[in-house]
A and B are shown apart, each in its own frame.
Chain A
Amino acid sequence: MTSAASPEVPVLVRHEWCKGCGICIAMCPKKVLEAAPDGKATVARPEDCIKCETCEIMCPDFAIRVVGGRSKGVAEGKGDVAGARA
């Protein structure tokens, strides 16, 4: 199952690929993501998302997509994860 994407929910989690490692949850600078009871990532506070794409870049399982990510810097490989968290 994949959570629906909409302007209000800009982050998609591909549930069947997610292994519940918690990396996206820890790395999100806005605490948008949470672990569901099964340990997999779920979008808890979509309204806080700044579309920085850190979750997508850091997910080892290709299980997250940020729809309409605004960060050109990320697309160009600029900046680091530490920077995005600051």
Chain B
Amino acid sequence: MGKRTMAVLAGLAMGPALLMGHAGAVWAEYPPEGDFVRGARLWAENCGRCHNIRDPRELRDDQWITTVYHMRVRGGLTGQDVRDIYTFLKQSN
């Protein structure tokens, strides 16, 4: 791979990261509010695929954030799935 190609690829990879950096600077709430009803359904469908389903009351809101992002990576969930599931969990604990 030529140095130019590498630079272009690096630029393409960094572009979205820089844009995201800007969005982050606004300090919007995260994760953005999702859909409670869809979240409840997705929780029931997905959170028992690998292990016993965990009770929403087991963890605090902030602990659920890291957990659902961890599970997003494990279970191939989409960003929207995770936002909806988190909305369900934080309102059910």
Instruction: Verify that A and B bind, or say they do not.
Output: no
Binding site for B on A (CB under 8 A): none
B residues with CB within 8 A of A: none
